[in-house]
Amino acid sequence: MNLGFQGKNALVIASSQGLGKAIAQKLAAQGVNVMISSRDQEKLKAVKKELELSSKGKIEFYSCNIKSPNEIKLLIETTVDAFGSIDFLVNNAGGPPAGTFEEMTDDDWQHAFELNLLSYIRIMREILPHMKNNGGKIVNIASSSVKEPIPGLILSNTFRTGIVGLTKTLASEFAPYNILINTVAPGRIATERVAFLDADAADRQGMTKEEIEEKMKKTIPLGRYGEPNEFANYVSFLLSDANSYMTGQTLLIDGGMLKSI
Q: Please report the pLDDT score of residue 186 as a whole number.
A: 97
Q: Which domains are present in the chain? A: 9-187+227-252 (3.40.50.720), 189-225 (no CATH)
The C-alpha atoms of residue 257 and residue 244 are separated, in whole angstroms, by 28
Can you give the pLDDT at residue 260? 84
Instruction: Quote the CA–CA distance of 62 and 78 in Å, as a whole number.
Output: 8
Q: For residue 84, count CB atoms less than 10 angstroms from its CB and return exposed for 0-12, middle for 13-18, buried for 19 or more.
A: exposed
The upper half-sphere exposure of residue 154, i.e. CA atoms within 13 Å in the direction of its Cβ, equals 9
What is the rounded distance in angstroms from the CA atom of residue 218 to the CA atom of residue 20? 27
> What are 89's strand-pairing partners?
11, 138
- pTM of the predicted model, to two decimals? 0.95
> Which pLDDT score, from 0 to 100, does residue 239 have?
98
pLDDT per residue, tens digit, the chain (261 aa), is 679 999 999 999 999 999 999 999 999 999 999 999 999 999 999 999 999 999 999 999 999 999 999 999 999 999 999 999 999 999 999 989 999 999 999 999 999 999 999 999 999 999 999 999 999 999 999 999 999 999 999 999 999 999 999 999 999 999 999 999 999 999 999 999 999 889 988 998 999 999 999 999 999 999 999 999 999 999 999 999 999 999 999 999 999 999 988
Q: Is-contact 46 70, C-beta < 8 A?
A: no
| Distance of alpha carbon 167 from alpha carbon 175, whole angstroms | 12
Q: What pLDDT does residue 89 have?
A: 98
Assess contact for 236 and 27: CB atoms under 8 A. yes
